[in-house]
Structure 1
Amino acid sequence: MTATPQDIQSRDNPLVKELRALAQDNTAYRQRGRVWLDGDHLCRALLARGQRPSIAVFSASGWPRADAELVAAAPRVVRLPDAVMASVSGLESPPAMGFVADLPDVAGLLPDAPTVVLDRLQDAGNVGSVLRSAAAFGFTQVAALKGTAALWSPKVLRAGMGAHFALRLVEGLVPEALSSLSVPLLVTSSHQGDWLHQATLPWPCAWVMGHEGQGVGEALMARASRFVRIAQPGGEESLNVAAAAAICLHASAAGRFKDACD
């Protein structure tokens, strides 16, 4: 049964203020326990993973053409004037709709899950891209150390393109917390370790991706089970961390397919 839409007119309505905070403040989700999903793509990605929002929000102009599946997805449906919707969204071109979704209840790391460790990655675009690669290549858990961009921030959510809903995300960790992982820690390096294209990779495992400028920190280097480097015959000194992550995670996925076919 589809909920009857509630019309809210004021920018100062408590819900509108909360939506604005969730859409524009990188860490508001931590206090409020929920996130704002801006636009059709993220909303559909949530539904595709079998999850449901708590609130569906539509602009007045977007309501007449709203998709019935999106309207029916939440127990509460809200309509906002276009100007109020524009004040909520952090985008230059505000979407016609969005969802409010509760954060998943995640307590600690799963010891044997295929994991990607983010060591102080700063750029939201890089973090979102790594999450997309993790989800695409069969990794199910992301462990973010303190200093990494907020995983559920609006920019990371948009860059992740829905990957968040396929992953177990644990953030705010210290290096010692990784001792709970039972899978081997593979650390990327530009100057030491096995060549990736020649390596036989363990599965499951945990790939460690380091800070854009400083690389992997000493605390994680000391915990490494193995160092791996990517051949760069073109002579560049290093790769963008998101590109390096895609190459390494794909190599793990390719190794699994090869083992399955042998």
Structure 2
Amino acid sequence: MKLDHITSRDNPALVRLRKLAADPGGYRKSGSVWLEGDHLLRAARQRGWPLGLVVVTEAALQDEALRALAEAAARALVVPAALFKGLSGLESPAQIGAELALPPAAAIDPGAASVVLDRLQDAGNVGAILRSAAAFGVRQVLALKGTAALWSPKVLRAGQGAHFGLRLIEGLAADDLAQLAVPMIATSSHTEHVLHKVALPSPCAWVMGHEGQGVSPALMARCALTVGIPQPGGEESLNVAAAAAICLYESERQRG
């Protein structure tokens, strides 16, 4: 492991990382992603993802746990706090981050329990759904075109490390879902099927739709089943991330 002490903001590696950190979809061109904070770095390592280039502040290097993360990388840049702030998207920078190489795009696993994201716009919702998917044992997430970039900094923060245990495929068209061999299920307020009273197929693919428009009619037509989530409080609808968590929990409960 090589420790390089950097004091110039014009260092080529820092210039490149600043551009990567500032562009939510920049990873699609670079093939790598910027992770900020020791939680995400540890989550990646626990799943066997190697850390490429770590950037750590001089102060953080004095912390034994953070130093160990830096020393686990192929290379580490040690920078003043002011330089690290230029890489950070947080009000209180985390003091350590890393560039992580992404694997080649995966193919759809036809038989895998899945979540399908249909043009979800909010990065927080997307990250929360990824976190629920990982928690309830769903290992494949399929994002249609128009969905927030799955590896963007905001989605990464909301996912809290879930990314590293999931097969993530994005930029899909609705027709690509024909590759799925498992039935697709969507939620709807216009159905006689109530979530906890209907036998859910297992495995299946839960379809979660756009925050305002819901699941597109074309995609809804592909679903083998629609179910409603009881809302005795009288609200018109649930937040999509909350709905996803409820549906994934019920799938897991019925699997036993």
* Distance in 2 of aligned mates of 1:158 and 1:66: 23
Q: Which residue in the other structure is 2:213 paired with? A: 214
Q: For residue 23 of structure 1, what is the aligned residue in structure 2? A: 21
Task: Indicate the residue corresponding to 1:153 in structure 2.
Answer: 152
Provide the secondary structure at the position in 2 that maps to 1:91. coil
Counterpart of 2:61 in structure 1 is 63
Please give the residue correspondences for 1:69-218 in structure 2 after superposition, counting only pairs within 5 Å: 69-218=68-217
What's the CA shift for 1:62? 1.2
CA-based RMSD:
1.1
What is the CA-CA distance between 1:71 and the residue it aligns to?
2.3
**Aligned 8 A contact 2:193 2:228 in 1:** yes
CA distance in 2: counterparts of 1:148 and 1:4, whole angstroms: 38
Q: 1:114 to 1:172 in 2, by over 3 A?
A: same
Q: TM-score, normalised by structure 1?
A: 0.94
Deviation at 1:190, TM superposition (A): 1.9
Uncovered stretches (5+) of structure 2, i.e. residues with no partner: none
The CA distance in 2 between the partners of 1:51 and 1:63, in whole Å, is 22
Match of 2:7 in 1: 9
| % identity of equivalent residues | 57
SS at match of 1:152: coil
Distance 1:176 1:193 in 2: 27
Structure 2 counterpart of 1:37 = 35
- In the aligned structure 2, how far is the partner of 1:218 from the partner of 1:108? 25
| TM-superposition CA deviations, 1:71-96 (whole Å, max 9, x none) | 23211111112111011111111111
- SS of the residue corresponding to residue 86 of structure 2 reads helix
Q: CA deviation at 1:106?
A: 2.5
SS class of match (2:246): helix
List structure 1 segments (4+ residues) > 6 angstroms apart after TM superposition: none
Which digits, 9 at most, give the CA deviation of each residue in 1:198-240, with x for residues without a partner?
0111111100000001000011011111111101111111100
Gaps of 5+ in 1: 258-262
Matched pairs, number: 255
